Structure 1
Amino acid sequence: MTRLSIGFIGTGRIAQALISGLSHDPQIVICGYDKIPDSLHSVSLHYGVNAEESIEGLARDTEIIIIAVKPYQVAEVLAELKPALHARHLLISVAAGISTGFIESNCPNGVRVVRVMPNTPAFVGEGMTALCKGSNATTDDILAAERIFNAIGKTAIIDESGMDAATAVSGSGPAYMFRIIDSLAEGGEACGLDRETAQLLAAQTMLGAAKMVLSGRKNPEELVREVTTPGGTTEAGLQAMEERDLRGVLFETVKAAAARSKELMK
């Protein structure tokens, strides 16, 4: 595969998850810069990242620059990065709510930008990352971004207009899943299980169910029908869900998160 030189501006939790996944690829050289020296030193020590003393130095030594800072820090980073950018550079932003247009407007004309929305299961190699390209990004750019983020899970290429929805479904989604697991475990505990066992049963069941959906052989509704026996225990549980409109609650959950994502963009 093509050799990649990747520089991280910011070495926080998401960056560390990504660096961990990429560090096993001998065709990838990783550099990092962080205003917090201790964070950069730790990442350099654990993953062999080349520590850079400045953003300018990082830009000089890499072709792909991943902006992994908080959204409110992006403008400041771009102001410092702009003089060091060249035609060879591809910028990839993991900053939530920051559009490709905003990044392009704060960079030299023609800069290539890919925006991504990863999620926290990246820390265990099971992340879901939505990717969209800016106005100047090429097919090769999006393929490079896919290669990078496939190191921590799965990727999906979408139009930027869908990023608020992706944020609501997969970016915020782990919190919804954690809440569901916790509720199932509480139910199991109330029915006589110890907490540890109930949580294991709930979490592993969700993992297995997700893998069945991802296999692509059947859609979720087909799988529901397959496991539901008329008059059986599953049907009784599903009936309780219907009575309390769990489907509607989750539907509205995603809509609320997407609406908030749109508000933050403003």
Structure 2
Amino acid sequence: MTTQKIAVLGTGKIGEALVSGMIRAGWAPAELLVTTRRQERADQLRQRYGVTPVTTVQAATEADTLILTVKPQDMSALLDELAPHLPEGKLVITAAAGVPTTFFEERLAPGTAVVRVMPNTPVLVDQGMSVISAGSHATDDHLVRAEQIFQPVGQTLRVPESQQDAATALSGSGPAYFYFLVEAMTDAGILLGLPRDKAHDLIVQAAVGASTMLRDSGDHPVTLREAVTSPAGTTINAIRELEKHGVRAAFLAALEAARDRSRELATGKG
């Protein structure tokens, strides 16, 4: 699929998901380099995928595209190690939440192309959403390359970097809100007399079915909700209680709080 080498630096769950997805999409294992702190983990990745474990310096010199998937708090140390050995002309893709492209551009060779990507955890099951933004030196070709890497593990969406904090609040943190909702609904099912496992199965399948209809039908969520909400029925009584308890307002406030925290992380606060 490509003759260029790609290095994934920091091969945790997200990094491994990318490696697995790229191989399924047609990249040859010989084209993929990985870095990891532990030899045991390096041996595991080599055996599982046929990829080549390397040092950070080797990744900098041998790869054409570098994907940085370490935790945000570890990024500065990684760049200190990487920058002296990274020549001009490389593409750097960062998947660190809340870290702007300027953070990388100021520490790497002048003119280095940086693309910022915010994936969410469903990339682990090939159902992720990866939000992609260009740094000041990244071209459309660089964005296309980032899309080619992340599309095998879900969908991609381009946004201006100024919208990344909002996208993090909705998409990056989004799966947690649904897990929270499923947890609450499972407790409600138990309260109503159902065993936990049956309540869980009912709610999960309802969530899968509803999300598939949202994705595939093209209908507005209000239209889909109204189709379930018959006059004087069970659903409208439940929705009345949700509105009475301010659930809609709570979601608005929660997403604003997540957006604000992403902005704080970008400025190095806490």
2:50 to 41, 48, 51: 48
Residue correspondence of structure 1 range 40-119 to structure 2 within 5 A: 40-52=42-54, 54-119=55-120
Structure 2 counterpart of 1:7: 7
- Residue 199 of structure 2 corresponds to residue 198 of structure 1: yes
| Superposed displacement of residue 84, structure 1 | 2.6
Structure 2 counterpart of 1:187: 188
Residue correspondence of structure 1 range 84-163 to structure 2 within 5 A: 84-163=85-164
Aligned length: 265
| Superposed displacement of residue 168, structure 1 | 0.9
Structure 2 counterpart of 1:175: 176
Q: Return structure 1 stretches of 4+ with deviation > 6 angstroms.
A: none
| Superposed displacement of residue 7, structure 1 | 0.3
The structure-2 alpha-carbon separation of the partners of 1:79 and 1:216, relative to structure 1 and needing over 3 Å to count, comes to farther
| Superposed displacement of residue 235, structure 1 | 1.1
Q: How far apart are the structure 1 equivalents of 2:3 and 2:206?
A: 39
Q: How far apart are the structure 2 equivalents of 1:240 and 1:4?
A: 56
Local SS of the residue matching 2:5: strand
| Superposed displacement of residue 177, structure 1 | 0.6
Output the amino acid matched with 1:74. Answer: M
Q: How far apart are the structure 1 equivalents of 2:46 and 2:167?
A: 32
Once the two structures are superposed, what CA deviation does each residue of 1:109-147 show, in whole Å capped at 9, x if it has no partner?
A: 110000111111111111111110100101011111111
| Superposed displacement of residue 164, structure 1 | 0.9
Q: How far apart are the structure 2 equivalents of 1:217 and 1:174?
A: 21
TM-score by length of 2: 0.93
Contact 2:88 / 2:109 at 8 angstroms: preserved in 1? no
Unaligned runs of 5+ in 1: none
Unaligned runs of 5+ in 2: none
Once the two structures are superposed, what CA deviation does each residue of 1:186-240 show, in whole Å capped at 9, x if it has no partner?
A: 1112212111111111112112211211225111111111221111111111111
Contact 1:185 / 1:202 at 8 angstroms: preserved in 2? yes
Q: How far apart are the structure 2 equivalents of 1:149 and 1:94?
A: 11
1:39 to 41, 47, 50: 41
| Superposed displacement of residue 5, structure 1 | 2.1
TM-score by length of 1: 0.95
